[in-house]
Amino acid sequence: MGLAQRVQYFSESVIREMTRLAAKYDAINLGQGMPDFDAPAEVKEAACRAIHDGYNQYAITWGAPPLRRAIAEKARRFNGIDCDPDTNITVCCGATECMMATMMALVDPGDEVIIFQPFYENYGPDALLTGAKPVWVHLNPPDWSFDADELRKAFGPKTRAIIVNTPNNPTGHVFSRAELDLIASLCIEHDAYALADEIYEYINYSDKPHLSIATLPGMQDRTVTISGLSKTFSITGWRLGYCIAPAELTNGIRKAHDFLTVGAPHPLQMAGAAAMALPDSYYQYLKDGYRQRKDLFLPYLREAGFQFNDVEGAYYVMTDISRFGATNDTEFVNWMIREIGVSAVPGSSFYRPSERGHTQVRFMFAKKDETLKAAGERLLRIRDRLKASAPTWLAK
Ligand code: PLP
């Protein structure tokens, strides 16, 4: 019998595979993007309260009203996006489902979707599951900006949408006003949608403000802004995300969402509304915490011999491993898990074709200080090994 073609074009998530391997070898997992610290106490209490208060049946498919109201208020205040909770917002099971539902609603088989690479690994399968053709444009190290001509050439008559993820996973790049202006002008010229994944919007260390492309002239009607609560409130397991879009697009997204999942967990949506009512000081605390973790962990990596520019946003660092003489990222990470006791994600899982990532490895630093210190100390052993002998990272 065999599998349908649509699941044969991509393999199982490398990130989750590395997580399993890390567990097997008891390595510190700096691969998968989830914190090892807990959500704010008041947010957890709100979830327990919502269950006790009886919010245990389906919510309205496109989101519990208090959460949609909180999202609309936040979008106005923080992003400068004017939206109506009744007609412009769809709550989904994480930003992950938001992107899938959006693509199903807006993209036809055979359409082209422009994706910057290295890319967040879901975007490729998202495009393929919709029957779309991904068209890749490179973000180039060390500052991870893109070449304007390469982007211009990527747009064409079949372009239906471009995915813009800022702050960016895996590169940490925060898109500048000039970069977003160019993307916006090309979207308008080619009548394409911008699918803006802004899940790391509050984790920005750069002096560039977080800018939602939906707010640029001519873009509100052609942008779906996607974000969620996973990263902002350290609740990746709750599966709460949302799409903000013009009413007509929202109608389509809601239809796709309804038949994909019916809805996100009702009590957690109620608690999500409570989370979004936290004072502004919470967001400063969140950002300061991540800045501290970055400043703690990145010097270890540099000292160990990994090469990279400082990170502008999100909680990942994409490093170059050529200095170790390494040419196969997957073997390198496997070795690091077994011999050094730290897991990361091989760069090739962020590229198509994957070769371009063969000298890159991504680390994430959403971890407690003690976890980062322990991982850092272990990573320094790579430097010591290199000093002790010629590059022998593969030789056990
Ligand atoms: N978008 C990006 C860029 C991500 O890095 C992640 C998680 O790592 C997600 C979306 C998934 O978000 P959610 O947990 O809301 O599905």
Query: How far is ligand 1, taken at its centre, from the CA of residue 55, in Å?
Result: 26
32 three-class SS:
coil
What whole-number distance in Å separates Cα of residue 26 and Cα of residue 30? 12
What are 159's strand-pairing partners?
Answer: 112
Report yes or no: 238 and 267 within 8 Å, Cβ to Cβ: no
- 262-269: average pLDDT: 98
Query: Would you identify the CATH topology of the domain 43-275?
Result: Aspartate Aminotransferase; domain 2 (3.40.640)
Which of 93, 126, 230, 257 should be mutated for ligand 1, with most atoms under 8 A from CB?
230
Read off φ and ψ for residue 338, nearest 5 degrees. -75, -45
Q: Listing from the earlier edge strand, what are the strands of the sheet with 316-320?
A: 316-320, 360-364, 345-346
Confidence of residue 384 (pLDDT cuts 50, 70, 90): confident
What whole-number distance in Å separates Cα of residue 34 and Cα of residue 44? 17
Looking at per-residue pLDDT, the higher value among 341 and 3 belongs to: 341
Query: How far is ligand 1, taken at its centre, from the CA of residue 297, in Å?
Result: 22
User: Which long-range contacts link 328-335 to residues 24+ away (Cβ below 8 Å)?
Assistant: 328/358, 329/357, 329/358, 329/359, 329/360, 329/361, 330/14, 331/394, 332/361, 332/393, 333/18, 333/361, 334/21, 335/393, 335/394
Which of 18, 19, 90, 96 should be mutated for ligand 1, with most atoms under 8 A from CB?
96
Count of residues making up the chain:
396
Query: How far is ligand 1, taken at its centre, from the CA of residue 91, in Å?
Result: 14
* Residue 18, pLDDT above cutoff 90: no
Query: How far is ligand 1, taken at its centre, from the CA of residue 369, in Å?
Result: 23
Pocket around ligand 1 at a 6 A CB cut-off: 33, 94-96, 120, 165, 169, 197, 199, 228, 230, 236, 241
pLDDT score of 14: 79
Domains in the chain: boundaries: 5-39+281-382, 43-275
pLDDT digits (tens, 9 = 90+) for 26-62: 999 999 878 888 999 999 999 999 999 999 999 999 9
pTM check: above 0.85? yes
Taking CA atoms, 254 is separated from 57, 82, 100, 245, 261, in Å, by: 19, 19, 12, 11, 11
* Residue 130, pLDDT above cutoff 80: yes
* Mean pLDDT lowest among 20-24, 93-97, 153-157, 364-368: 20-24
CATH code for the domain defined by 5-39+281-382:
3.90.1150.10
* Mean pLDDT lowest among 61-70, 172-181, 191-200, 352-361: 352-361
pLDDT score of 392: 52
